[in-house]
Amino acid sequence: MHESIILYLSLVMAIMLLVMLAQRIKIAYPIVLVLGGLALSLVPGLPSVEIDPQLIFLIFLPPLLYEAAWQTSWKDFWKWRRVIGSFAFIIVIFTSCVIAYVSQAVVPGFTLALGFLLGGIISPPDAVATTSILQNVKVPKRVITIAEGESLLNDASSLVVFRFALAAVASGQFVLTDAIGSFFFVIVMGFTVGLGIALIFYAILRWLPTTPSIDTILTFVAPYAMYITAEEFHYSGVIAVVTGGLFLSRNQHSILSHLSRIQGINVWSTVGFVLNGIVFMLIGLELPVIVQGLGEASMGEAIKYGLIISAVVILTRIASTVGASFFTVFISRFITTADSSPGLRMPLIFGWAGMRGVVSLASALSIPLLLENGQPFPQRNMILFITFVVILVTLVFQGLTLPPLVRLLKVEERDYSVSAQEQDVIIRRKLAKASLDLINTKFAHEVNDNELLQSLKFKLESDIGFLDHVEQSEVEEAGHAYITRFQEINKELLDHKRHILHQFNKKETYEEEIIRQHLAQLDLEEEKVRQQFLHIE
C-alpha cells in the first residue's frame, strides 16, 4: 500500500518537473510527458505501470470532458456546428472505414471487422494536445474552437463504432442497417440522459441553499452521474457528459454565485491539469507492457504496420479537411454557411492538428483477452501496438511540426475584424460609461453624502479618460513600455501591502482571519490588473 502511494506521488512530481521543462523549452507539455514516460519506462527496476481502461473511462474521462464542455464557448460552438458535427461523426466514420480496408489489406490476419475495430480506436483526435500546442502560436480562433468542439463529440462516435466492431468480431455478424440505427439511438439517448440529469443539478444549484464549497462538489458529482447513468443503460456516456456540461455552463451565471464561479474555476483548472498530465504520462509508461504483449510477433513488422496506419490516419484527415473546404464552397451556393470561402490554409492546419491521445489507448486496452467461446481475441496485441505507434507518431511528429507549419502558412484572423486589444478597450470603456451613467442618473443625490461613491465615481471617470485617449496603436506600443512598468510598480505596491499585513499579523491585537481576508483581496486585485492587460502584453 505504502509503495503504491509513493509510486503515484513520485509520478505526480515527475509530471510537475516535466511540465516545467516543457515551459522552459517551449514545447507543448503533452509531448514532453509522453516522451518522459517513455524514458522512465526504460529505467531498469522501475515497476511496470499498466493502464486499467475502466479507470480511464470512469475516473478520468467524465471530468476531463466536463471541464472541456464547461470551457467551450456555446456561441462559437453553435457558429461552427456543421463543421464540428461533420468531423465528430461523418469524418470519424469515414476514417474508420479507410483504416478498416487498409489494415485488412496490409496487416496479415486482419479481417474487416478487426479493421473497423482499429479504426474506431484511432479515429478521434485529442483536443488537449492540440490546444496546448496551439497556445504557443498565433492561430485563428476558429481552428481552436472547431478542434475543441470536435473533441467533445468525436470520442462518443468513435467509441460507438468501437463497440459495434467489437461485437462483430465476437459474434462474427455485422448488419449495417442495424448498426446505423443503433448508432443514432445511442447518441440521442445519451443526449437525453445528459440533459435530464443536468436539469436536476440545475434545480439543486438554482433553488437550494448551497455554498461555494457545495457548488464545487456538485460540479464534480455531475459528470460522473451523467456518465454512469448513460452507460448503465448502454447509451453514450460521453454525449451525456458533453450535453449536460454545455447546458450547465451556459446557465452558470444564474445557478452559481460569483464566489462559486471563482472557486470552481481555480479547483477545476488544477484538477484538469493533473488528470491530463497523468494520462499523457501513462501513455509513455505503457510501452513495456505493450511490447511484452507482442509475444512472438516481429517488432520490425509491427513498427512497419504502425507507421503505415499512422500515414493513412494523417493523410485521411488532411484529405477530409481539404475536401470539407471544397464542399463548403459548393454548398454555400444553396445554404448559408459560417464561411463560404474557407480556403486551404486553415484546413491544412486543422488537418495537421489531428494528434491522438489517451482515449485511443484506453479503448485498445479495453479489448477483452478472450472471446465468448474462450478463444484468444484475434490480433489484440497487434492492435494495441499499432495504436501506440499512431499515438506516438501523431503526437510527437505532428505536435512538433504544427507550430512551424502555422508560422509558414501565415494564416490571419478572419472572423474578428477588431483585434483582441481593441475589443478589450471597447468593452472596458462601455462598462465604465454605463456604470458612470447609472450613478449620475439613479444615485446622483447620494454621491455628495457618500465618500465611497465619490471615490468610485472618480475612478470611473479616470478610467474613461484613459480609455478615450488611448488609440489602439498607442496601446500596442505601450504594451512593452508604461503598461509593463505600471504592472511592475503595482506588483511592488501590493507586495508592500502584504508585508504590512504580515507585520500586523505578528501583533496579538489583530485576528489572523481578518489578515487573510485582506491578503485574499490583494491577490484578487493583482489578478484583476493582470487580466486587464492580458491582451496587450
Cβ neighbours of residue 416 closer than 8 Å, sequence gap 6 or more: 141, 423
pLDDT at 480: 55
Q: CA 92, 97, 100, 101: dihedral to nearest 10 degrees?
A: -150
pLDDT of 449 higher than 70: yes
pLDDT in tens, 485-495: 777 777 888 88
> With respect to CATH, is domain 2-409 assigned 1.20.1530.20?
yes
User: Has residue 475 got a pLDDT over 70?
Assistant: no
**What are the pLDDT digits (tens) for 167-193?**
777 766 655 556 667 778 888 999 999
More confident: 55 or 470? 55
Q: Which of 318, 359, 323, 386 is closest to 115 using CA atoms?
A: 386
pTM value?
0.83
Query: Any long-range contacts for 209-216 (C-beta under 8 Å, 24+ apart)?
Result: 210/260, 212/257, 212/259, 212/260, 212/262, 212/263, 212/264, 213/263, 215/256, 215/257, 215/260, 215/263, 215/264, 216/260, 216/263, 216/264, 216/267
The Cα 246–Cα 194 span in angstroms is 10
Q: At what angle do helices 141-171 and 127-134 cross, to 10 degrees?
A: 160
pLDDT value at residue 305: 92
Among the ranges given (101-115, 334-348, 384-398), the one the predictor scored with the smallest mean pLDDT: 334-348
The set of residues, in sequence order, having a beta carbon less than 8 Å from that of 320 and lying 6+ positions away, is 87, 91, 94, 95, 351
Hey, where are the domains in the chain?
Answer: 2-409, 420-532
**84-138: pLDDT as tens digits:** 888 888 888 899 889 999 999 999 888 888 898 899 899 988 767 777 777 777 7
Region 425-433 average pLDDT: 81
pLDDT in tens, 192-225: 999 999 999 999 999 999 999 999 999 999 999 9
- Which residue in 348, 337, 473 sits closest to 411, CA to CA? 348
CA dihedral 52, 57, 58, 62 (to 10 degrees): 150
Asked whether 379 and 302 are in contact (CB, 8 A), the reply is: no
* Residue pair 63/271 in contact by the 8 Å Cβ criterion: yes
pLDDT of residue 197: 97
User: Looking at the chain, how many residues does it have?
Assistant: 537
- Could you give the CA distance from residue 311 to residue 104 in angstroms, rounded to a whole number? 15
Beta bridge partners of residue 376, listed in sequence order = 370
424, 535 in Cβ contact below 8 A? Answer: yes
What's the confidence (pLDDT) of residue 105? Answer: 92
Phi, psi (rounded to 5 degrees) for 211: -120, 165
